[in-house]
Amino acid sequence: MKMDIQDLKQRFEIIGNSSGLHRAIEVAVQVAPTDLSVLITGESGTGKEVFPQIIHQFSTRKHGKYVAVNCGAIPEGTIDSELFGHEKGSFTGAFSERKGYFQEADEGTIFLDEIGELPLATQVRLLRVLETGEFMRVGSSKVLKSNVRVIAATNLDIPKAIEEGKFREDLYYRLNTVPIHILPLRQRPEDIHLLFRKFTRDFAEKYQMPPLRLDEDARILLENYRWPGNVRQLKNITEQISIIEQNRDITADILQRYLPAISTKNLPALFNHPEDKNYSTEREILYKILFDMKRDVNELKKLVLDLMENRDYQISVDQERMIQNLYDGEEINLSTNEKLPKPVHYKDFDRKNIQDTEEVVEESLLLEDKEIELITKALEKHHGKRKYAANELGISERTLYRKIKEHNIKG
């Protein structure tokens, strides 16, 4: 089988030894004797147009016509006429009747390239041809038949196009009886240098000049470039270098000038410099959250001490929001009646010794008692008006209401 593939590659001028390429060739040869429809997928520039020719040449229709149609190059208003033909006078400019591609390719093979560009109305007509072999010319009610084998190709994500309502699902499954996927060049790195050598020999012969030669660094650069335009882009760049460069020994610096910068959206994320403020990994994000939480807890401890030592201490809006976040369930959920560990009473240690280390906590009711006392006094001072009492305490009215309910405070 390997010898057959090598002969076939030479016959159709296919360059490459990757397993993915060989697999696509094998599938094309195996499906060729049948009349099954084939859908060839792959990025633009990967060489999808070669495989319909392989299928046609190894099929029983090889003596019939092979018609290749670029659906994306035909205007929407004339695509039906091009594919199925039209009657004289059916539209402005139709001075005579015309056969369409399906009628011309009868008993042969028709290759519909860029099938994803077909209008929905034309997709309905195509589905009928695939299922019954019947079609009608534009401007005619007469049903015609065509015995044609259909091979289609696209560089679009057809399942996504179906979700967006741009492609018929039933047509997709009818075309996709046998799928053949052509790998992009970046997934065939072992084929890149082989293709470059083939192209440089072709251009050397065409322009009557010595072929190009790559040094080791240039070869590594060639094989590691992503080639978004695939084989077509590689061929074009090889031709540019062949014509422009007088020196036939190509270094990495020379080659780099001909490789356009590509988007990095598909490249692996780079590790950021420690001074950067963009956190590119989950671990960095997690560390940042933990450090922020630790800082907030330490600020809260100092704030509580200040409140306990000085009732007239004024807190900022940000500080009040931080307390609410901690006590309203965003970081610490007290809605389940879970009690926070009570810190050591502020009188038992010097506030200058507060450090960003682990906090030693012990069970105590002193803080709870103080909290009840402060809330009770604030309510008495403002005659039970919770809004003013909450302002006096430096907490929100919602937090005060919950504390009253939690401690069963009368007022």
The tokens describing 351, both together, are 């506030």
* pLDDT above 70 as % of the chain: 76
Q: What is the average per-residue pLDDT within 387-407?
A: 82
> Going by CATH, does the domain composed of 2-183 fall within 3.40.390.30?
no
Q: What is the pTM of this model?
A: 0.62
Question: Which pLDDT does position 329 carry in this prediction?
Answer: 47
pLDDT class for 215, splitting at 50, 70, 90? Answer: very high
Domain ranges for the chain: 2-183, 186-258, 282-407
- Domain over 186-258 is classified CATH 3.30.1490.190: no
Please state the rounded mean pLDDT for residues 50-73: 96
User: Tens digit of pLDDT for each residue in 337-353?
Assistant: 444 444 444 444 444 44
**Mean pLDDT along residues 354-368:** 51
Could you tell me which residues are beta bridge partners of residue 67?
110
Mean pLDDT, residues 29-58 taken together: 96
Kindly report, residue by residue over 74-101, the tens digit of the pLDDT. 999 899 999 999 998 888 888 899 999 9
| 28-40 CB burial, b ≥16 within 10 A, e <16 | bbebbeeeebbbb
Residues 316/318/324/327 CA torsion (nearest 10 deg): -100
Q: Which residue has the higher pLDDT, 170 or 285?
A: 170
Burial classification of residue 250, based on how many CB atoms lie within 10 Å of its CB (0-12 exposed, 13-18 middle, 19 or more buried): buried
Across the chain, mean pLDDT equals 82
The alpha helices in 164-251, defined as continuous H runs, are 169-175, 189-207, 216-224, 230-244
Contacts of 40 (CB under 8 A, 6+ apart): 48, 51, 52, 151, 152, 153, 154, 179, 180, 181, 182
| pLDDT score of 371 | 80
Name 246's Cβ contacts closer than 8 Å, sequence gap at least 6. none
Pick the more confident residue, 381 or 311.
381
User: Per-residue pLDDT tens for 125-144?
Assistant: 999 999 999 999 999 999 99
Contact between 214 and 254 under an 8 Å Cβ cutoff? The reply is no
- Look at residue 283 in the predicted model and tell me its pLDDT: 52
Q: Find the mean pLDDT for residues 376-403.
A: 83
pLDDT band at 333 (very low <50, low <70, confident <90, very high): very low
Is the pLDDT at 239 greater than 60? The verdict is yes
Q: Which three-class secondary structure string do you get for 268-316?
A: CCCCCCCCCCCCCCHHHHHHHHHHHHHHHHHHHHHHHHHHHHCCCCCCC
Q: Are 227 and 189 in contact, with CB atoms under 8 Å apart?
A: no
> Residue 400: its pLDDT value, please?
81
382: left (phi over 0), alpha (psi -120 to 50) or beta: alpha
DSSP character at residue 351: G
18-22, 89-93, 106-110: lowest mean pLDDT where?
89-93
Given a cut of 50, is residue 119 above it in pLDDT? Answer: yes
Per-residue pLDDT, 185: 96
At 174 the three-state DSSP class reads helix
